Amino acid sequence: MDTYLGIDVGSISTNLAVINEERKVLVWEYLLTGGKPIEAVQKGLKEIENKLPSGTEIKGVSSTGSARHLTGILVGADTVKSEIIAHAVAASHLIPEVKTIFEIGGQDSKIIIVRDGVVVDFAMNTICAAGTGSFLDHQAQRLGVPIEEFGDLALQAKAPTRIAGRCTVFAESDMIHKQQTGHVTENIVAGLCQALVRNYLNNVGKGKEILPPTVFQGGVAANKGMKTAFEEELGYEVIVPEYYHVMGAIGAAMLAQETIVETKKTKFKGFEVSEVDYKTRSFECTGCPNLCEVIEVLMNGEVISRWGDRCGKWEVLEK
Amino acid sequence: MAIRVGIIRALLYYRLYPFWKTFFNSLGIEVIVSGKTTKKLLKKGLKYAPDEACLSIKVAFGHVKDLMDKVDYLFLPRLVSLERGTYICPKFIGFPDMIRSAFDNLSPLIDTSFNLRKRPSNLFFPMYRIGRIFKKSPLFIYRAYKRALEEESKYLSSLQKGILLPEVLSSWEERRTLRSSNPKGNLCIALVGHPYNLYDSFVNLNIIKKLEDLGARVVTPEMVSPLEIKKEADKIPQEVYWSLGREIVGASLYLLESKSIDGLIHLGSFGCGPDSFLRELIADRARKHPEIAYLSLILDEHTGEAGVVTRLEAFIDLIERRKKRSIRLSY
């Protein structure tokens, strides 16, 4: 069987997905990056290899997410694309009539506007990370609510507390204040979801034409409180797809398939990659006052790639 | 030894350098330019610049610091207005004062005011005042002024040849013929913004090269003729009275209407008042051209490379995928 592998390495989670020629998801894997993208990719590959039925051939690989370039070098990706395109491709395949995509991940959030199956506009959160997974995680911890129960708890709220969601720092102090004045936890949790949704729509979604069908994906889509808050604010149902948390990887797999149509032959280094000793190291180049931070990737102790320099003098590897 | 006058490689350097340099050199004065913007230079600027200033002013502070011990005079003209009816940004107007209050032991500043809002033909008067600082005769100053004007008009007309400003400027400086870069990209991306953001490759994280590496040919407002810019800018119901802002809007509208571009990127700097208006105005006009993709990027001293790269890659992908609709997103 011919299949395609997509790898999405984000700040919080590393996701892998394998699709067949018909773009059906065969297996997927979701694991935490834990600040170690190389190990996460290697572990993920091992898991995927174990899950795949024997006789499956990987015909193409693509990487996406914030560690896409690094991952691309590790596995020998056929194409390396930004997560915006990957998410859009996956969503518009699974929900062909989609017009708006909300994607909220661990450290960033995006909005993607799609018309007739083509991305026409997008935006990402800028300096502010309010409303992303990490912030919700942190607040859940502070309130003593396991993140898995956060959404269900929010749904129980009778009168959501109004919380200032303009900025995470203010949101937190506002939440503490509301707790101290006697608001119950479920109302605060629901209020927080509403605040984050308002923040998202006003910042990331500013000036964008948000139309149904709207798909909500990324790790935060697991939170039913957020889905409900979006629906209340927009006045229509928001779709959370089955594979909401690995959509980037699925999209990447589809991009790999597209690429192979043109290039025919994959550059995939095989699942053995999970056994290879990869390391990265960095140094500050003192060649000029720019003091660029140069990153080196080493395979079995040998430098295979470098980047990070503005002038490009380190990018060329000496043989 | 010749007197040395320092010009900062910041703010309106990218436009006015040939004019200033020719003028000073014709008076027999040596011109020293600050180095290119680097991390170190910006750091120095941040130390002295007011927090509320925009990124471009902070960068300019770094350039002053870089120059101040190497020259006899620092040339920081007070640019109020350079053409009829429009103004230069207020931060430019106050720049010499900001510098005076921030640094001790400054070389004497030449902060002659240029206010041509009512009579653009009055340009000679401030030039005359500058010339008199060096005790030059009126005729001598007038000749230098004429020569500067000639060089400037040559420079400005070279900018219309579709070649990016950094090449035009260095060919002018090195007195060599213009090398036409071979635009190999299939996509044409208009990059609009203030020249000190567009052409300072440190500040903008080398955006032009990044776009070229992604297969795009880049066009900028300097390539659009002033006549077209005026024609388009006049269509805006509320007059844009910042000189550069007017130019950015006029050029953007012209490029959008010309249908010659696939995408438009507005590059603004954080803390820039005019940019915050221009961004919205251009976005509004760009929406009327759904076939042209629009992206707004905001730069500040904390701008991370990753964010810019992701946005640019996605932007180019978006355009490419739209172009080859045969391979649709969904089968």
> Complex ipTM, two decimals?
0.83
CA A74, CA B133: separation in Å to the nearest integer?
Answer: 64
Tokens of B5: 């006058």
Using alpha carbons, select from A216, A172, A207, A209 the residue that is nearest to residue A191: A172
CATH class of B182-323: alpha beta
Q: pTM value? A: 0.87
Beta strands A79-80 and B216-219 are: unpaired
Residues of B in contact with A89 (CB under 8 A): 329
| Cβ–Cβ gap A289/B41 under 8 Å | yes
Give, for all 319 residues of chain A, the pLDDT tens digit.
899 999 999 888 999 999 999 999 999 999 998 888 999 999 999 999 999 988 889 999 999 998 999 999 999 999 999 999 999 999 999 999 999 999 998 878 899 999 888 898 999 887 666 668 888 888 888 888 888 888 899 999 999 998 887 677 777 888 888 889 999 989 999 998 998 898 889 888 888 999 999 999 998 999 999 999 999 999 999 999 999 999 999 999 999 999 999 888 999 998 988 888 888 888 888 888 778 888 888 888 888 888 777 777 787 775 4
Distance from CA of B275 to the nearest CA of A (A): 16
* Whether A126 and B202 lie within 8 Å, measured CB to CB: no
Note whether B4-161 and B182-323 share their fold: yes
In chain B, what are the domain boundaries? 4-161, 182-323
With a CB cutoff of 8 Å and minimum separation 6, the contacts of B136 are B27, B144
Interchain proximity B314–A122, CB inside 8 Å: yes
Q: Is the CB of residue A17 less than 8 Å from the CB of residue A87?
A: no
Residues of B with CB under 8 A from a CB of A: 35, 38-41, 201-202, 206, 280, 283, 290, 293-294, 298, 302, 306-307, 310-311, 313-314, 317-318, 321-322, 325, 327-331
Task: Tell me which chain B residues have a C-beta less than 8 angstroms from the C-beta of A119.
Answer: 314, 317-318, 321-322, 329
Among A118, A121, A288, whose Cβ lies nearest the Cβ of B38?
Answer: A288
**Nearest Cα to Cα of residue A209 among A99, A292, A314, A134:** A99
Q: Which are the contacts of B44, defined by CB distance < 8 A and separation ≥ 6?
A: B61, B62, B65, B66
Chain B contact set for A261 (CB, 8 A): 327
Specify the length of chain A in residues.
319
The separation between the first and the last C-alpha atoms of chain A, rounded to the nearest angstrom, is 39
Residue ranges of domains in chain A, CATH in brackets: 2-89+248-275 (3.30.420.40), 97-240 (3.30.420.40), 277-319 (no CATH)
For B4-161, the fitting CATH number among 3.40.50, 3.40.190, 1.10.10, 1.20.120 is 3.40.50
Encoded tokens for A240: 């959370």
